[in-house]
Amino acid sequence: QDLFSPTPRTAMPPHDPPLPGTPDYGDESKPRRPLLSATQPMTPRDRRVDLRVKPTQLYGYDLFQDVSLAHARRHAPIKFFHAPELPVPWDLSVASFRAENRDWRSVTAEQWKEEMERIHSPLSSVLYLRPVCAAVTIGTLQACLHGFTAKGGGQVEATEMFPPQTVPLHGAPDRLASTPRRMLPPRVRVRPGVHPLDAMAELEDRHSGTNLALLHFVPEGTARLAPDPALGPKLAALTLRTSFMMNALASEKHLHVAPSQVLDKQGGVLCSSNVSLIREGSDQGFAWRDRVTRFDIFTIAVPRHVHRDQWQQYRWNTDKALVKERVNLAVSCAAKRGVQVLAMAPIGCGEGCDHPPLEIADIIHQTVKANARGSLEEVVVASDDPNHDDAWFAEFETVLLNGRAPPVKFGDPTYPASPATKLIPYLKYGPRKKIPEPITPGRELRRTFL
C-alpha cells in the first residue's frame, strides 16, 4: 500500500527474518503476518517475537508510518542524464531545481557570453533574460550540492562549500572576538563601477586569511533574502554567483519564523555565515572560480521610500534614526565578531529603495567612527549601478570621509537676513490693505427681571 495510507501495512520486507509459524517469504502468493496495531494490546509472546524484527515495527504501523513519511520528505539524489541545450527553454524555473535532470554546470563561459550578447542585441527580447538567469542559478545550486569543475581544470568538491547558516542578531555581542582590537579607525575607500563581491574578492587576494563580510540590505516587506534571479546579473549577483540562495531557501528552517519578522518588525540583523563566492561576473561568462571565497553576510531591512526636504535630507528624523540604528547594529556586530574587511553597496540607494545619498554617506561615516575599536581594518563602499557615476561618487566620497556639515537654511540666526528680504512680500503682493472688521448689529435692549 501507499506510504501515506492510514491503514497499516500487511506485508513485511523480504530481508526481515521469518517469524515462527509463518510461511516462507519467498512465495509472494502466501499471506504474511500483519504488523501489530497501535490500539491492539501486546502480549508477552508478541513482544518477544517483535524484538526479532526492526525497531520501527515494535509499536505498530503508527511509528512505521512516521518513519516512512520522514524518508519520503527527503530529497532523492538527482541523476544528470544529459547536458542542456541552448537556448534556454522559457518554462525553466528555479523552484524545481531539485528535480532538474539537466546538468547546467556543463555550460561553458563562452556559451553564456554568447547568450548574454544575444539578449542585448536589437533583435532579441529582454524577456529572455529571466530563463537565462534561472539556468545560471540552477547551475550554481547544482554546484553547491555536487561540486563543480573550475575554469583552471581543478575539481572543487561540494564538501569544500560549507552549508550557510543564518542566525538572528538583536544586539552586538558583549564579548569581543579573538582577533586583536585596533586602536586606529578603519580605512574607508570607495570603488565606483565595481560590484561589492568583486571588491571583496580583490581584498581577499591582497589580505590572505582575513575575515570578510558583506553588508546587504533589502527593502522592508521583502519575503525572501536572496534577490530574484529575474532582476538581472547585476542586481541578482548574490543569487547567481554565490551559495546565498541555498541559505535563503532554508532561512525559515533556521530562524523558525519568516525573515521579514526579524528584519522588519523586530529590527534585527540576520548573519549568514559560510557563504561561498564560486562564479565570476556576467562579463566573464559566469565562469567558475579556481578559488572559493568564503565570507559572511549581514542583512538589514530599510524603508523603500522616504520623504526628503529641499536640502536633500530626511524630512522626518524618525526615518534617519531608524536607518542609523540598523546600520550601526550591523556594523557593530561585524566588528565584534572578528570581521576585518567589510564591503557594502550604498545603503538605500537602488534595489527598490530611494534614500538621500549624502545622508547615507554621513550615517556610514558616523557608524564606522563609532566602531573604530573593533576588529575592522577596511570598509569598502562599491557599486556598479549605472546611475552612480563618477560625479555622484565624488560627492558621496567627500561626505563619507569627512562627514556632512549641516546645510545653511534660510533664516538661520548665524547668518542674518538681508534688509532687502523684508521688501519681498511688498514687491510681490503690494502694500497690505487693512480689511475692515464686519459690523454686527447690537442686541436689542429689553427691560426684563431675572
Q: Tell whether omega for the bond before 18 is within 30 degrees of 0, i.e. cis.
A: no
Strand partners, 1: none
Please give, one letter per residue, the 3-state secondary structure of 341-394. EEEECCCCEECCEECCHHHHHHHHHHHHHHCCCCCCCEEEEEECCCCCCHHHHH
pLDDT tens per residue, range 198-250: 998 888 766 666 789 999 999 998 878 888 888 888 889 999 999 998 888 88
Residue 251, SS3 per DSSP: helix
| Cα 255 from chain centroid (whole Å) | 13
Rg, the chain, Cα only: 33
pLDDT at 382: 93
Mean model confidence pLDDT for the chain: 75
Q: Which of 182-186, 331-335, 440-444 has the lowest mean pLDDT?
A: 440-444
Judged by DSSP in three states, 143 sits in helix
pLDDT of residue 291: 85
> Mind listing the pLDDT tens digit for each residue in 308-331?
888 888 999 899 999 999 999 999
Task: Evaluate if residue 35 carries a pLDDT over 80.
Answer: no
Q: Are strands 378-383 and 353-354 parallel, antiparallel or unpaired?
A: unpaired
Q: Give the cell for residue 288.
A: 567558475
Q: Exposed, middle or buried, 267 (CB in 10 Å: 0-12/13-18/19+)?
A: middle
pLDDT digits (tens, 9 = 90+) for 58-104: 333 333 344 444 444 455 556 666 778 888 888 888 888 888 888 89
**DSSP-derived secondary structure for 297-314:** EEEEEE-SB--B-TTSSB
Q: Which residues face 82 on adjacent strands?
A: 102
Give every CB contact of residue 265 below 8 A, 6+ residues apart in sequence: none
Annotate 85-129 with DSSP letters as a single string: -SSPPTT--GGGGGG--B-GGG--HHHHHHHHHHHTSTTS-GGGH
